[in-house]
Amino acid sequence: MEALSSLIHGFDVLLTWQNMALMLFGIVLGIFVGVLPGLGGPNGVAILLPLTFSMDPTSAIVLLSCIYWGALFGGAITAILFNIPGEAWSVATTFDGYPMAQKGQAAEALTAAFTASFVGSFLAVVLITFLAPLVAGFAIRFGPPEFFAVYLLTFCSFVGLGREDKHKIVISLVIGFLLTAVGMDTVSGQLRMTFGSVELLRGFDFLVAVIGLFGVGEILLTMEESFAFRGKKAVISPTVVFRTWATLPKYWLTLLRSSAIGCWLGITPGGAIAASFMGYNIAKRVAKDKESFGQGRIDGVLAPETAAHAAGTSALLPMLALGIPGSGTAAVLLGGLMVWGLQPGPLLFVEQKDFVWGLIASMYLGNIVGLIVVLATVPLFASVLRVPFPTIAPMILVSCAVGAFAVQNAVFDIWLMLAFGVVGYVFKKLGYPLAPLTLALVLGDKAEDAFRQAMIGARGSMTVFFSNGLVGTITIIALLVLFMPLIGQAVAWVRGTRAPKIEPEAPPVSAPASEA
Amino acid sequence: MSIQDEETEDRSVVSYRSVDLVVSVLLFLASIILGWTNWQIGAGWAPDGPEAGYFPFYLCVLLGIASLIGIVKGVISRSDASFVGRDQFKRVLQVAIPSLAFVAGIQWLGIYVSSFLLIAGFMRFLGKSSILASLVTPVIFVVFMFYVFEKQFTVLLPKGPIERALLY
């Protein structure tokens, strides 16, 4: 198997003491980021990105992706012990995790959550190992029209699959695109939307936007609640871990189903949040005794955690193979690739073997190390939340400011970050999703270039997007996904005349609208 | 990360519907202004492909349509949900105003002194920590920051008169 030998090569690249140290550091930092409300995956990675500019790309991606794994693990700690989701994707974990903690089963719930996370991401990494090279090999034949069609598919999936108001998703996407267009046009050299401002010549850097929207916005949101953290205590002993593990095999179906849901939603940009809710709801719907959900069932913890992690991990597949990230954090990592001088996309597998396979190897190892670290350090991280928020909030703010400044050594960017923070706060409260905005910010230029190149090649005829089987199929799928809600309604309407309508279970609306 | 189960009697400052409407109207205005500037650059077809304003112009059209839908939805909405309560808004301002002062302070005092003031102020006045704790914690944080950024990663952060007096 070619993938296997490449993977072994990847481990070869990864196993230096320096990379291992970075990995451990990244995971611990990531759990910290996941535990703290106000710091999340996307902005945690964004704040640290400028520090990696001078690093070797492989080490840099190991560090940053481990922060991501750590954050995925960390969100569950606060969800179960404090009933506060540290990350939006752990909201569904609170439904059964916190009741378990109330019943004195906090250690079991945590063990279940971490193990489920591990299973979910492990299956997703296996998928990436074997599928990503195939997709990349296929995508190497892509020209500009195909790439634009794939971008179109990504953006359409956001609109078609998103749970928010459709017009708000579109607005969020368009704002992202418009922000990237500000400044000098890469093709003609003309200035666009700068209104004579010198500062705007550089355009908007996506890192500054991400730090503001997610970091500062999140702090403002968190401050609204008068925070009194009253949590359950938990010490995880090896006996509890093994006792919990012994019960897990009987939930194999839940784990597999949630992994499948997660992988699907991760590759199409549904994201970890949608995946965790869907995993939970489906587990509940197929269960014999639906009423016991929400009162502390172990599969109520397993289902959302597995799905969230499978989604969070598999979001890296399209990022590596096509250069299109499946989640907000993946988008930030993708931006990192460009900063480190790597061209994301299918050629990465040919030209940057060390980088790609080192990253994939680090996903295997990072998840194993993450599982051990997180099981061992729960009490430590739970105590972090007992530090009063007025002490932590200004430190997060300072870190955000440093991160924003370090991107281009410009104080103006710190002001921009604040402005984005206010926008992020208002948008989140109004239910505008922020992940499409981030994605459009990162991909905007590339999508526009692909469009223009395709148009130049075709002398301005839109039919180029249907000119051969490949591009036509992708375009049609994109349009189908875009109009899926309408098609679904139409089908339901036709069926409604004969069969009783089966309403899909609506996910709880209390979910914070932040992104994976 | 919000938890909505402990809603208390917090008088609304402004309704969700009005903020939603205002944002939609602002976005609509933005779409017109931005669309107009892109039209000026040229949103048509040059011999070598689309002009510079082509892509952004049609984005603005999309933004205009989407925000119009937002306006219509806002106008016909009968919801009287609150956007933010009075107490909540007070707490948000308690972060927002010091943050503004912090960023302004970076330009005059440098980031280290400004960070010290921000953290110390937060701990003392919002966290009600003891004077000693509110002085020692930010000093440790700022020294750590200096070590990590200036020494380890050689990221030169903005400095002010105090650092210059100390020869940095």
Looking up tokens 């309604």 gives A489
Identity of the residue in B3, B94, B123 whose CB atom sits nearest the CB atom of A223? B94
Which own/partner contact pairs does A196-203 have at CB distance under 8 Å and 24+ positions apart? A199/A410, A199/A412, A202/A408, A202/A410, A203/A179
Question: Which pLDDT score, from 0 to 100, does residue A1 have?
Answer: 61
- The torsion of the CA quartet A49, B110, A203, A400, rounded to 10 degrees, works out to 40
Q: Is A421–B2 a contact, with Cβ atoms under 8 angstroms apart? A: no
Residue A242 and residue A236: Cα distance in Å, rounded? Answer: 10
Kindly tell me if the per-residue pLDDT of A504 is higher than 90. no
Kindly tell me if the per-residue pLDDT of A279 is higher than 70. yes
Determine the average pLDDT of the residues in A9-31: 85
Q: Is A223–B91 a contact, with Cβ atoms under 8 angstroms apart? A: yes
Listed by number, the residues of chain A in 136-175 with a beta carbon closer than 8 Å to a beta carbon of chain B are: 165, 167-168, 170-171, 174-175
Residue A366 and residue A27: Cα distance in Å, rounded? Answer: 8
Residue A164 and residue A158: Cα distance in Å, rounded? Answer: 10
Residue B122 and residue A429: Cα distance in Å, rounded? Answer: 25
Residue A116 and residue A110: Cα distance in Å, rounded? Answer: 10
Per residue in A340-381, pLDDT (tens digit) is 888 777 888 878 888 888 888 888 888 888 888 888 887 787
Cα angle: A30, vertex A35, A40; to 5 degrees: 60
Identity of the residue in B118, B153, B158 whose CB atom sits nearest the CB atom of A394? B118
Q: Are strands B82-85 and B12-15 parallel, antiparallel or unpaired?
A: antiparallel
Residue A95 and residue A116: Cα distance in Å, rounded? Answer: 16
Looking up tokens 């939970």 gives A280
Q: Is B66–A171 a contact, with Cβ atoms under 8 angstroms apart? A: yes
Q: Which range has the worst mean pLDDT, A36-40, A179-183, A311-315?
A: A36-40
Q: How far is B98 from chain A (nearest CA, A)?
A: 9
Q: Are A17 and A370 in contact (CB under 8 A)?
A: no
Q: Is B1–A391 a contact, with Cβ atoms under 8 angstroms apart? A: no
Which residue type is seen at A111?
A: T
Q: Which range has the worst mean pLDDT, A52-56, A323-327, A398-402, A422-426?
A: A323-327
Tokens of A118: 């591990």
Residue A313 and residue A333: Cα distance in Å, rounded? Answer: 12
Q: Which range has the worst mean pLDDT, A59-68, A76-85, A174-183, A405-414?
A: A76-85
Least CA distance to B85: which residue of chain A?
Answer: A224
Residue B101 CB burial class (10 angstroms; 0-12, 13-18, ≥19): middle
Give the pLDDT band of residue A228 (cuts 50, 70, 90): low
Kindly tell me if the per-residue pLDDT of B84 is higher than 80. yes
- Is pLDDT larger for residue A286 or for residue A228? A286
Give the pLDDT band of residue A506 (cuts 50, 70, 90): very low
Q: 3-class SS at A71?
A: helix
Kindly tell me if the per-residue pLDDT of A90 is higher than 80. no
Q: 3-class SS at B82?
A: strand
Looking up tokens 């998928």 gives A127
Residue A217 CB burial class (10 angstroms; 0-12, 13-18, ≥19): buried
Tokens of A162: 């998103």
Q: What percent of chain A has pLDDT over 90?
A: 4
Residue A192 and residue A184: Cα distance in Å, rounded? Answer: 6
Tokens of A176: 């992202």
Per residue in A466-495, pLDDT (tens digit) is 888 788 888 888 888 888 888 888 888 887
Q: How far is A6 from chain B (nearest CA, A)?
A: 32
Distances (CA, A) of B17 to A148, B8, B86, B88: 37, 20, 16, 18
Kindly tell me if the per-residue pLDDT of A419 is higher than 90. yes
Determine the average pLDDT of the residues in A495-513: 47
Q: Is B96–A220 a contact, with Cβ atoms under 8 angstroms apart? A: yes
Q: Are strands B82-85 and B49-50 parallel, antiparallel or unpaired?
A: unpaired
Residue A280 and residue A299: Cα distance in Å, rounded? Answer: 9
CA A469, distance to chain mean position in Å, is 31
Q: 3-class SS at B45?
A: strand
In degrees rounded to 5, what are phi and psi of residue A347?
A: -65, -20
Neighbours of A470 (CB within 10 A): 15
Indicate left, alpha or beta for A345 from its phi (over 0: left) and psi (-120 to 50: alpha): left
Give the pLDDT band of residue A516 (cuts 50, 70, 90): very low
Q: 3-class SS at A296?
A: coil
Determine the average pLDDT of the residues in B113-122: 92
Question: Which pLDDT score, from 0 to 100, does residue A226 have?
Answer: 62
Per residue in A28-87, pLDDT (tens digit) is 888 888 877 667 777 788 888 877 877 888 888 888 888 888 888 887 887 888 777 766
- Is pLDDT larger for residue B161 or for residue A124? A124
Domain ranges of chain A: 2-486
- Tell whether A456 is within 8 A of chain B (Cβ): yes
Q: How far is B88 from chain A (nearest CA, A)?
A: 5
Determine the average pLDDT of the residues in B91-113: 89
Nearest to A118 by CA among A374, A377, A300, A381: A374
Q: 3-class SS at A270?
A: coil
- Is pLDDT larger for residue A492 or for residue A507? A492
Determine the average pLDDT of the residues in B50-57: 83
- Tell whether A50 is within 8 A of chain B (Cβ): yes
Q: How far is B39 from chain A (nearest CA, A)?
A: 10
Question: Which pLDDT score, from 0 to 100, does residue B64 have?
Answer: 93
Question: Which pLDDT score, from 0 to 100, does residue B81 have?
Answer: 84
Q: Quick one: CA dihedral B138, B141, B143, B149, positive or negative?
A: negative
Which DSSP state fits B19? Answer: H
Kindly tell me if the per-residue pLDDT of B4 is higher than 50. no
Question: Which pLDDT score, from 0 to 100, does residue B67 have?
Answer: 93
Kindly tell me if the per-residue pLDDT of A190 is higher than 80. no
Least CA distance to B90: which residue of chain A?
Answer: A224
Determine the average pLDDT of the residues in A432-449: 82
Q: Are A33 and A39 in contact (CB under 8 A)?
A: yes
Least CA distance to B88: which residue of chain A?
Answer: A224
Question: Which pLDDT score, from 0 to 100, does residue A227 have?
Answer: 58
Q: Is B103–A414 a contact, with Cβ atoms under 8 angstroms apart? A: yes
